[in-house]
Chains A and B, each alone.
Chain A
Amino acid sequence: MKRKKQSEEGGISPLSTFLKAKKWSFSRLQGRLAPYTFLAPALIVITLFFFIPLVIVFILSFTKLDITNFGILEWWRPANWSLDNYVKIFTNRFFPRILGNTLVYVALTLAFFNVGMALLIALITTHINRRVGFAFRALWLLPRITPVVVYIMMWKALAGPAPMGIINNYLLGPLGIGSGEYLLNTSPWVFVILVNGFIGASFGMILFSSAIEAIPKEYSTASKVDGATTWQTIRYIVLPMIKWPFLFVTTYQTLSLLTSFEQIMLLTDGGPGLYQTEVWALTAYHRALTSYFGNIQWGYGSAWAVVLVVIGIIMAIIYLRVFKFGELVQEPKIDRL
């Protein structure tokens, strides 16, 4: 009874209800299909650029498709599939270095900037004058919105050799450190971490500061009355209360760092020495999409990428479970007239 009444009034109930309804008209059919017409454009884009590529990348990773046999090799035939590319990855002479680079890059950038610096900015800017705090946060957003090529150019100027380079000129020179060489050649890792960290810090900064601001004032007041120092208040009141944002930022940023390579590509392109700053994601790109050493190996590059794809899918599903995203996926409360 209730169901029938609902559908007569034109509310949108599940498809099954529609099929059960005895009488139906064109307008009611339209009502049932309306959600899907709203979703259609997104579905097309998602299919074209997520689902189809997801299938292709797995298939490609089993093939030897490269620039020389493109159009000849029937890569979609299972007969041409093998695990050779994966064997090739693990037996690669530079595999240990690339894996090590990736771990160092993710761990250090995460610790010092994406979580460490982010937390520091959030803690300081929420404890000082509101306007000054806001100005600092806005400033830290700048690296993220600056065009990446321009941003890397600035860093190259900072790292430049004396007398042009800013760090050499104003910091290392007066202190008598180094001989004014191009710092990207002498210590590329420092700059890889700085460049990525300055962009990454803003994500945690925003989430942490809103979490800190949401802590009721009574807690810190109470701790001050009890004679706690600022450090103790932070350690025993603030940090435990932002545990979830902290975990979220850490895991989310681990994944973004693991798969980001645009900045490294522009800064050092994996150099200056052989594979000195080459990370996993950059290797996949180099193999498949740049004519590195004059050959493009889509199959081999895809195998490198697939490892990241699998990690990405697993971690995305973990977020959904751990961070109670399920609660955000509840039924709409408002769907009947």
Chain B
Amino acid sequence: MRLRQKPRAALAYLALIVPSALILVGFLWLFITSFSIRTEGLRSLGWTLSNWSFLWKSPFGPQYPSIWWVTLNTLVMSLIMTLIVVVVSSMTAYALSRMKFTGRKSFLSLTLILHAFPSVTLLIPIYFVLIWVSKIPVIGRGVPLLGGLGYNTIGGVALVMVAFQLPFGIWVMKGFFDNISWDMERSALIDGASRFRVWWEIMMPNIKPGIAALSIFSFITGWNAYLIPLTFTAGRAGKSAVLSLYLQNFISESVMTEWNAVAAVGLFQLIPVVIFFLFTQQMLLNIYGGGKKGGV
């Protein structure tokens, strides 16, 4: 109560509320604009659905991939990336949390260093790694749907995203494994189950909240990705384009007054994220904070 009576406190509230309002205004603008013929500020100068015609007619012409192809690309890329991140980080985290082996300590330190290290500085050499992977037969380019794992393929982009996400994923999952009691696993091991079976059949069902959190986090990261797809695919409107590239291509080919159509594409990309967000804010708040130090 005392906080509210002081001018200093009033100033603090103002400093919080004004920027917070700015965030909301941005979203409001996107929504209004995408359903308007034109806008002035937040005021619509007439409502329309024509901005959404990109759903059935490519705004760039028929030689470019349609929004649905691009959405499929984005979906495949995000799902593949999420799947690999979750499986690989929980395998690694399980070993780090539960097993004793030579090099454990150095591996954990390595994970921590990689977690803090800004991977984005390695984009240039990764470009060369992907070019080499492209030259490997079949794996490089020739896998259905993914295109392959090399340069200018959905799989290649997903793989780089996995690499950037992995140190974080391992760290988060280790936190979840550390919190599970040893007893359940122990009785299974005494009964003669293999480590792999214990991991898959006993541990994994017990860290469902962790799996869910990391999956949502990874999926959103993949769905939003711009820089990595931009760097490792050729051209913003190619056949491996993802939603961010499609949208950015649309923006750079439009002038300010055509932004109503662009806003509709933006809202199209934003909707799944917002839906996820509404249901999982608590989880995201936890993982963003907790993931940075010990997972819990």
Contacts and interface: CB of A to CB of B under 8 A. Distances in A.
A150 B91 contact: no
Contact of B22 (A52, A158, A248): A158
Interface stretch (A79-87, A94-102, A163-171, A270-278): A163-171
B118 A256 contact: yes
Contacts of B27: 142, 154
A166 B121 contact: no
B251 A153 contact: yes
A329 B106 CA distance: 9
Contacts of A34: 95, 99, 194-196
B40 A157 contact: no
A328 B179 CA distance: 14
Given A41-B88, A302-B124, A35 B101 contact: yes
Q: Which of A13, A261, A329 gathers the greatest number of chain B CB atoms within 10 Å? A: A329
Interface string B22-48: 111111011001000001111000000
A208 to B, nearest CB: 9
Contacts of B227: 148, 262, 265
B112 A328 contact: yes
Contacts of A316: 112-117
B151 interface: no
Given A198-B23, A256-B118, A332-B100, A10 B189 contact: yes
Contact of A50 (B26, B94, B122): B122
A30 to B, nearest CB: 8
Q: Is the interface of A mostly helix, strand, loop or mixed?
A: helix
Given A57-B122, A138-B281, A230-B3, A150 B30 contact: yes
A165 B224 contact: no
Given A10-B189, A140-B20, A230-B9, A312 B288 contact: no
Contact of B98 (A15, A138, A334): A334
B189 A14 contact: no
A26 interface: no
Nearest to B276: A145
Contact of A255 (B95, B118, B257): B118
A53 B126 contact: yes
Interface residues of B, number: 107
A54 B160 CA distance: 14
Q: Is the interface of B mostly helix, strand, loop or mixed?
A: helix
A252 interface: yes
A42 B108 CA distance: 12
A329 B116 contact: no
Interface stretch (B59-67, B206-214, B261-269): B261-269
Given A60-B125, A255-B118, A334-B182, A165 B99 contact: no
Given A45-B162, A60-B124, A207-B289, A325 B273 contact: no
Contacts of B101: 12, 14-15, 32, 35-36
B199 interface: yes
B224 A35 contact: no
Interface in A28-70: 30-32, 34-39, 41-42, 45-46, 48-50, 52-57, 60
Given A14-B100, A120-B12, A305-B124, A150 B269 contact: yes
Interface of A: 10, 12-16, 30-32, 34-39, 41-42, 45-46, 48-50, 52-57, 60, 117, 120-121, 123-124, 127, 136-151, 153-155, 157-158, 160-161, 163-166, 169-170, 198, 202-203, 206-207, 210, 229-231, 248, 252, 255-256, 258-262, 265-266, 281, 284-285, 288-289, 298, 301-302, 305, 308-309, 312-313, 315-317, 319-320, 325, 328-329, 331-332, 334-335, 337
28 contacts: A12-B101, A15-B101, A16-B102, A35-B100, A38-B95, A38-B99, A42-B89, A42-B166, A42-B170, A45-B163, A48-B163, A49-B159, A50-B117, A142-B27, A145-B220, A149-B269, A153-B266, A158-B29, A166-B29, A262-B226, A266-B226, A281-B120, A284-B121, A298-B124, A302-B125, A305-B122, A316-B112, A329-B108
Interface of B: 2-3, 6, 8-9, 12-13, 15-16, 19-20, 22-27, 29-30, 33, 39-42, 87-89, 91-92, 94-102, 104-105, 107-110, 112-129, 159-160, 162-164, 166, 170, 182, 186, 189-190, 194-196, 199, 220, 223-224, 226-227, 231, 243-244, 247-248, 251, 256-257, 259, 262-263, 266-267, 269-270, 273, 277, 281, 284-285, 288-289, 292-294
